[in-house]
Amino acid sequence: MVELAQGTWVIVADGEKALFMENITDAEDPNLVVVSVEEQEQETARLKPSDRAGRRYDRGPKQKSAVEEGTWKTHAKSLFVQDLANLLNRKGLKGAYKRLVLVASPHVLGLLRRRLHSEVLAKVVAEVDKTLTNHPLHKVEQVLTSRLKATARA
């Protein structure tokens, strides 16, 4: 059974913000305390291409189509998740936490999973595929408790 034991770190993240929390009580009645908040730098979030999208020729006479560039916002989110993974790797390999719960959208969870060190991945006791970065702490606690109980029953 997965439980939110005392000392478990909970990371609630999206592509722009991450909350580092720790459960300071037992698993029966978790009490999450925010240890730190990491946010994407404003300059990175505002990055935009400096010129027009590329063009390519189509088969028809004198026809061109725009070539869609990778979205800068998606790229900035990917960089933020990479920075988050690096931070979790450094802290995890130094022994800052023994148990870790990841809470993020499925896309961010996938990006994180690919970038976490194998020793850090071994410390992940649960994943919740939901974006909760802008929810109050009591709501995060409720969602985590209900999801972990549902996982235990399954």
What structural domains does the chain harbor?
9-44+73-153 (3.30.420.60)
In tens, the pLDDT along 95-108 reads 999 999 999 999 99
pLDDT tens readout for residues 51-61: 555 555 566 66
Q: Write b or e for each residue in 59-72: b if 16 or more Cβ atoms lie within 10 A of its Cβ, otherwise e.
A: eeeeeeeeeeeeee
Report how far residue 35's alpha carbon sits from residue 19's, in angstroms, rounded to the nearest whole number.
8
pTM higher than 0.85: no
- Find, among 116, 34, 48, the residue nearest to 81 by Cα: 116
